[in-house]
Structure 1
Amino acid sequence: MIAMQSRSSRTMVRTFVSVVGLALLTACATPATRFYTLGTDAEPTIAKNTTSPALRIDVRPVKVPATVARSQLVVQVNPAQVQVLEDDRWSSALPDEIRDALAARVSQQAGASAANAVGRDEEVPVYQVGVDVQRFESWPGSHVLVDVVWSVSRSAGLEPLSCHSIVSEPVSGGYQAIVDGHRHAINAIADQIAAVVRNFAATAADRPFSPAGASSRTGMTTLSCPQFIDGARTAVDRAAAPRSGA
């Protein structure tokens, strides 16, 4: 009887050790999840603020295509197929990643205050930025492409200036290269937005504003969508056409 209990105990111990060992091996075999962000690595040159009082940048919630509106990175396999990467994810929702990156970069380049750095009761001009991402493509070992319709409007409620920017950045192999490519593309678009904000701010606060292409009157200031200055990028910039239902 004692011998049978001893053998039973040894069997239970061996079974327990085997289960623990298998669990450890499974844990070791599971790849670690990698998280990425579109935040800048270093602060860019801050443009001089030529206006007084300070500016405030308000980037509205960003719209992105449903295909990439998830925490996982999504890469193109071919024009008709994508791959969702379970172990490579954004540190926050992609619309929030884009919004935060744009808000930081535009504020820095326009010499503006951060959106939450100015009290609501303070008399400062607020520039609202609307962003609608049409395409957000990742082609491993080839390029990334960001296609965005964006607009800038003053707090006075005047008609906004709407622009359309398409940026393509070459990337090497690896998913980190894809994230870096998207970061560069977002920064390039943010620089365009900041240029428009600076042009807005350079006009008198009470001077009427007319978007490019609109009929102008004496004393009106007409602004146009800025061009990329980096010849290495493929970019198309134009006044965005009104969309039905917008």
Structure 2
Amino acid sequence: MIARQSRSFRTTVRTLVSVVGLALLGACATPATRFYTLGTDAEPTIARNTTSPALQIDVRPVKVPAAVARSQLVVQVNPAQVQVLEDDRWSSALPDEIRYALAARVSQQAGASAASAVGRGGEGPVYQVGVDIQRFESWPGSHVLVDAVWSVSRSAGQETLTCHSTVSEPVSDGYQAIVDGHRRAIDAIAAQIAKVVRAFAATAADRPSGPAGASSKTGMTTLSCPPFSGGAQTAVDRAAAPRSGV
């Protein structure tokens, strides 16, 4: 009787050890989730700089294609197929990642010490930035592509300039390389937006004359979309003259 109880006890112990071991192996086999961001270290400083700014940058909520409007990274398998990466995610929703990255970079390049990233308040003109991402593609080991229609409006929407920019950046293998490629693409678009903000600010400070290449018509300043500079593989596809109202 005692022998049977001893064998039963040993069997129960072995079973419990096996179950615990399998659970531990399962836990070890579960990959860790990696989080990525398009933001910069300068974002908190810019967001707090709201005391009597000379101008303010108000980046409106960004539109992105439904296929990539999620927390997971989405990569292209081929032109007709994508893969959703469950263990590689954005630190916040992709539209917010793009919005705050653009706000920080545009504010920096348009005069970060005198700009307020995202939001209104204080004195000075507000330059409203609208961004509609038409394509946001990630091709591992090849390139990333950001195709965006964006606009800059002077305070109260009195004048608006709309541009269409397509940015392609080569990337190496790995998902971190894809994120870095998108950061460079956002940098390129932000540089264009900042140029338009500075041009609008210059014409506001010095009317009726404006920056080089600008002309005046019925009290409005006609500006063109600036070309990309540097070594980025980029193109400006379309430029629309400012219009009155929103």
Q: TM-score, normalised by structure 1?
A: 0.84
| Separation (CA, whole Å) in 2 of partners of 1:82 and 1:10 | 51
| Separation (CA, whole Å) in 2 of partners of 1:127 and 1:209 | 20
Within-5 A mapping of 1:48-197: 54-112=54-112, 113-115=115-117, 120=121, 122-197=122-197
The code of the aligned residue for 1:82 comes to: V
Q: Is the 8 A contact 1:159 1:209 kept in 2?
A: no
User: Compared with structure 1, are the counterparts of its residues 109 and 54 closer, same or farther at alpha carbon in structure 2 (3 Å cutoff)?
Assistant: same
Residue aligning to 2:225: 225
The code of the aligned residue for 1:57 comes to: I
What is the DSSP-based 3-state SS (H/G/I as helix, E as strand, rest coil) of the residue aligned with 1:111? helix
Q: Is the 8 A contact 1:60 1:131 kept in 2?
A: yes
Worse-superposed segment, 230-239 or 132-141: 230-239
Q: Is the 8 A contact 2:224 2:240 kept in 1?
A: no
Q: Which has the higher helix share?
A: 2
Runs of 4+ residues deviating >4 angstroms: 205-210
The code of the aligned residue for 1:17 comes to: V
| Separation (CA, whole Å) in 2 of partners of 1:41 and 1:228 | 24
Per-residue displacement from partner, 1:90-115 (whole Å, max 9, x unpaired)?
Answer: 11111011011001100111014233
| Separation (CA, whole Å) in 1 of partners of 2:167 and 2:118 | 29
Computed over aligned residues only, the root mean square deviation of the Cα atoms, in angstroms, reads 2.9
Q: Is the 8 A contact 1:209 1:220 kept in 2?
A: no
User: Compared with structure 1, are the counterparts of its residues 96 and 209 closer, same or farther at alpha carbon in structure 2 (3 Å cutoff)?
Assistant: farther
Q: Is the 8 A contact 1:70 1:93 kept in 2?
A: yes
Number of residue pairs the alignment of both structures matches: 230
Per-residue displacement from partner, 1:138-187 (whole Å, max 9, x unpaired)?
Answer: 11111111000000112232131110000000111111111100000001
Q: Is the 8 A contact 1:227 1:237 kept in 2?
A: no
1:5: Cα distance to partner?
Answer: 2.9
Q: Is the 8 A contact 2:153 2:160 kept in 1?
A: yes
| Separation (CA, whole Å) in 2 of partners of 1:208 and 1:16 | 84
Q: Does 1:235 align with 2:235?
A: yes
Unaligned runs of 5+ in 2: 47-51
1:32: Cα distance to partner?
Answer: 1.3
Task: Work out the percentage of aligned pairs sharing the same amino acid.
Answer: 84
Q: TM-score, normalised by structure 2?
A: 0.84
What is the DSSP-based 3-state SS (H/G/I as helix, E as strand, rest coil) of the residue aligned with 1:183? helix
